[in-house]
Copies of this chain bind each other. A is one copy, B any other.
């Protein structure tokens, strides 16, 4: 298996060492080799290293220490702005102010992001995705000055690891893979798929710390609550409207 895939784990503690420009460019170059719809490359990567801007991003990303520690912060954006401007300048009539185009551009951005993550790890760097990129899209748009038809979909910190954590557990392969068609889960399937994870020592500790009876409750009550998800759903849909991705008049 590709070593960077086999050995991947998120790094949340970084040494202060800077990343040399050549090395960083190799990571960015790797990102651009990913598949992209119709070879349109409808994404942008914002590379932030300046301390004041990183501090603003740290605040946006729920003040996770690693955002301040890591020397480089990458924001992967769905971007139909550049392509649309190109169309306008070339006597073409662009129609990318809609949800499908956002989705297309988001897919482009995410495939590029994963290439960057793996190439960074190949080069001895550590990475961690920041799930808060979609939650806090509005704030990030403001900090990075993202124009119309540009929306962040992933963010990642990059730097030299100051920790060496073990690999994270995963569900058994047949817990996520379906053969031929989707097979609907029965209670017994769920027990089997989640059983190993529920028996981990780390799970017992989590239950104790969070004072919960089941691991699922740690997710629903503390980590990813219905109230938060609904709040951030509306916030992101508002962002899509404001950035110009929700124009579907009923008569079209």
Does A58 lie at the interface of the complex (its beta carbon under 8 Å from any beta carbon of B)? no
Query: Smallest Cβ distance from A162 to chain B, in angstroms?
Result: 19
- The answer to whether A170 touches B103 (Cβ under 8 A) is no
Could you mark each residue 155-176 of chain A with 1 if its beta carbon is under 8 Å from any beta carbon of chain B, else 0? 0000000000001111101011
Determine the distance from Cα of A120 to Cα of B100 in the docked complex, in whole angstroms: 28
With A1-B122, A85-B185 known as contacts, the answer to whether A50 contacts B114 (CB < 8 A) is no
Q: Which residues of B contact A40 (CB under 8 A)?
A: 219, 224
Q: In the complex the two chains form, is A35's CB within 8 Å of B8's CB?
A: yes
Pick from A47, A168, A220, A227 the residue with the most CB of B within 10 Å.
A220
Q: A164 to B194: give the CA distance in the assembly, Å.
A: 43
Which residues of chain B come closer than 8 Å to A103, judged between CB atoms? Answer: 134, 153, 236
| Residue from A91, A98, A248 having most chain B Cβ neighbours under 10 A | A98
> CB-CB < 8 A to A107: which residues of B?
110, 134, 153-154
Cα(A38)–Cα(B179), bound, Å: 26
Q: In the docked arrangement, what's the CA distance between A167 and B34, Å? A: 11
**Chain A: how many interface residues by the 8 Å CB criterion?**
122
The reply to whether A104 and B177 form a contact with Cβ atoms under 8 Å apart is no
Interchain CB contact under 8 A, A173 and B131: no
Assembly CA distance A221 to B190 (angstroms) = 48
* A47 touching B178 in the complex, CB below 8 Å, given contacts A30-B1, A220-B87, A226-B93: yes
Nearest CB on B from A62, distance (A)? 13
- A-B pairs, top 8 by smallest CB distance, nearest first, are A95-B226, A92-B216, A90-B216, A114-B114, A90-B214, A100-B233, A99-B233, A110-B110
